Amino acid sequence: MMNIDRMVMAFAGVVVLLSLALSQVHSPMWLFLTAFVGLNLFQAAFTGFCPLAIVLKKVGLNPGTAFK
C-alpha cells in the first residue's frame, strides 16, 4: 500500500530524473529543479515539513512515519 512517505520519495525521484533528462535535451538550467528537490528533501529530513506531504494528506493518502 502506498503511503505518504513512499509517494513523496517516488515523486521526488521522478522529478529528479525528469529534470536531469531535460537538462541534457534542452538546457542545463533544469538542474536548478534537481537542486530544489534535493534541498527540500534535506530540510524535510530535519524539520518534518513537506508541502507535498500536506497535499497528499488532504487527498486522503495514509500517513507513514516521517510525515504526520
Domain ranges of the chain: 4-59
pLDDT (mean) for 47-65: 91
Using left for φ > 0, alpha for ψ between -120 and 50, and beta otherwise, residue 48 falls in left
Question: What Cα–Cα distance (Å) separates residue 33 from each residue in 1, 8, 25, 62?
Answer: 28, 16, 15, 27
pLDDT at 3: 92
Give me the mean pLDDT over the 44-58 stretch: 92
Band (pLDDT 50/70/90 cuts) for residue 34 is: very high
Residue 41 exposed, middle or buried by CB count within 10 Å (0-12, 13-18, 19+): middle
Predicted confidence (pLDDT) at residue 67 exceeds the cutoff of 80? no
Question: Span 10-31, mean pLDDT?
Answer: 96
